[in-house]
Amino acid sequence: MKKIARLMTLALVVFALASCEDVPSPFGTVTPPKGDSRGSDIPPTGTGTATDPFNVQKAIDFVKELGADVESETALYVKGKVLSISEISASYGNASFILSDDTEGTNKFTAYRVKGFNNQKITDEKMIKVGDDVIICGKIVNYKGNTPETVQNTGYIYSVNGKTGGDPAPTGEAKGTGTQADPFNIAAAIAKCKEIGTTASTEKYYVKGIVVKGGTVSGGFGNVTFDMGDTKDATTTFKAFQVAGTDGEKLADGYTVNAGDEVVVYGPIYNYQGNTPETSGKSAAQIVTINGKKTSEGSGGTPSSEVKAVTIAEFNAAAESTDIWYQLTGTIKSLKEGDKYGNFNLEDATGSVYVYGLLSEKGGAKQKFQELVAAQGLQAGTKITIIGNRSSYNGQIQVANAYFVKVEDSSDTPGGGESGASSITVAMSSLGVANGVEVGTKTLTDGTVLTFDKGSNNNAPKYYDSGTAVRMYPNNSVTVTASKKIASIKLTCSANNAEGKISASKGTIVIEGMTVNLNGIDDTTTTITNSHTGTGAASQLRIASIEITYAK
């Protein structure tokens, strides 16, 4: 009887449950929207390594935990299916595309401007397609708190459908044993890193190479990172990662290792994450020599601040700094016979300054001034260009840490220009400004002043040997100030005229191809502005020469 009662009870329960299936949910069925990772039921997986990459969901969760715009400390591996491709360019060598854990786009992670295999520029614009299984590697971030993605220009494609680009092969023959007397070349260093594996060696090695991509000390860390190759144009490189100065010296902010420098480094090495041969970081390795000298000897590293071309008056008015470098052009006032130090007065039309200890080159040997005198024919009256820091001693302004650049044509006078009775023409190449240096203010031979200003742009007008022109970027300007009224100005451009988007405070602009004419000025000053609002070469006003015609 008890068994019959239990069976009847069970039947009633089953019937009641079945009846509930016909009762509608009070709120309807909730379906997470596509692309909203918060509603994704895909489990996060992976540890972010090459052998165990994050899936898209784990990458999303990881960057959200970091917070908005906080980058991961290290490069991480993320795998997913290519959902869409917004750009893949062989010209720029990178690609941007969306990864998801499925083909429906349930969750999304942006691979933003990543390079190709082995962190090299993309050359094949068909290397990926929608639906491919891709693993990328790079630092990741939750951009503006709503877009999980790789940090721009830090990522690369590790594999496509299981195929990797393979390890970069050393170019040339591996040479050296890694000792001080017989350092590894780059090919040998790469081979040794592969042998060592992904854990830094306990033994330290010497590696010698040419800097392919330079680096600059910043943030007070006292070390610098740069890439080395067996040649200056090498595509296979070894990374000197966070290396200190000679003998472990802490390098000053602004110290720069330049492309083309010959460097020997010493320290533990390994194959970081299995694909980047490098030294162990955080100053575990050091620069032994750079261009044959210790870092403490001014071995070729320079401050990162761009060199500013100024008059002597502007130099004298500047604040003292060992971080800012100035280019000065002037005439040697007098030289002490037999002086080995290189101490003398330099003057231009705006003033005079004392040069203390001129070296023959950047990082050159001290007390060798007579060798420079003999080699360059220096004497009182010689016009030269030098670079140095603003300093002082016992109240006297000095050019400190100075080094020689070149002897100027003796027929030139400050500012350059060929002057006629009613006009003057000046080629930008005659202004005495080094390649890639800000132009600043220049006084022409007839006293007219050209003042180049950056305006609201981050970049100031600079002179470049390519095109022998001054490049004025959007919102840059040049003000022409004369002692008499100006009738017209003609700018001859080398390649770009800012697409004709040029304005002037006085006068009417007429553009004829690469010639910009400013007529009807009838004043002693006018300001010409690049009014372009875009970016790229087309937005630049590249001035090769300026012809100024004065009113009669």
Q: Are residues 429 and 528 in the same domain?
A: yes
Same domain, 216 and 267: yes
pLDDT at 303: 40
In a domain, 515, yes or no: yes
Query: Quick one: 194 and 284 in the same domain?
Result: yes
Based on the fold, state whether residues 153 and 223 are members of the same structural domain.
no
Domain co-membership, 401 together with 473: no
Strands (E), 24-126: 76-89, 94-100, 109-114
Q: Say what the pLDDT of residue 51 is.
A: 85
Boundary of a domain, candidates 108, 129, 164: 164
User: Could you give the CA distance from residue 196 to residue 512 in angstroms, rounded to a whole number?
Assistant: 64
**Based on the domain organization, do 355 and 429 belong to the same domain?**
no
pLDDT, position 37: 41
Q: Inform me whether the pLDDT recorded for 313 exceeds 60.
A: yes
Closest CA to 159 of 270, 274, 245, 79: 79
The reported pLDDT for the residue numbered 54 is 93
Q: What is the pLDDT of residues 479-518, one digit of tens each?
A: 999 988 999 999 988 878 888 899 999 999 988 888 899 9
Q: What is the pLDDT of residues 84-101, one digit of tens each?
A: 999 888 878 889 999 999
Q: Look at residue 447 in the predicted model and tell me its pLDDT.
A: 82
Residues 403 and 427 in one domain: no
Same structural domain for residues 437 and 495? yes
Would 211 be classed as within a structural domain? yes
* 398-441 pLDDT, tens digit each: 999 888 888 876 444 444 554 444 888 888 887 878 878 889 99
pLDDT of residue 298: 56
* Judgement on whether residues 518 and 446 belong to the same structural domain of the protein: yes
CATH of the domain at 98: 2.40.50.140
DSSP string, 164-177: E--PPPPPS-----
The residue out of 134, 164, 194 marking a domain boundary is 164
Domain boundary, last residue among 361, 381, 407: 407
Q: How confident is the model at residue 78, as a pLDDT?
A: 94
The CATH number that applies at residue 508 is 2.60.120
Average pLDDT over residues 171-196: 89
Domain of residue 343, CATH code: 2.40.50.200
Q: Based on the domain organization, do 244 and 332 belong to the same domain?
A: no
What is the per-residue pLDDT for 503? 93
Instruction: Verify that 268 and 379 share a domain, yes or no.
Output: no
| Residue matched to tokens 């092969």 | 169
Domain interval for residue 147 = 56-164
The candidate with the shortest Cα–Cα distance to 205, out of 144, 141, 264, 129, is: 264
**pLDDT of 476 over the 90 cut:** yes
pTM (predicted TM-score): 0.34
Return d(Cα 386, Cα 492) in angstroms, integer: 29
Same domain (yes/no): 231, 152: no
Tens digits of per-residue pLDDT, 203-217? 999 999 998 888 877
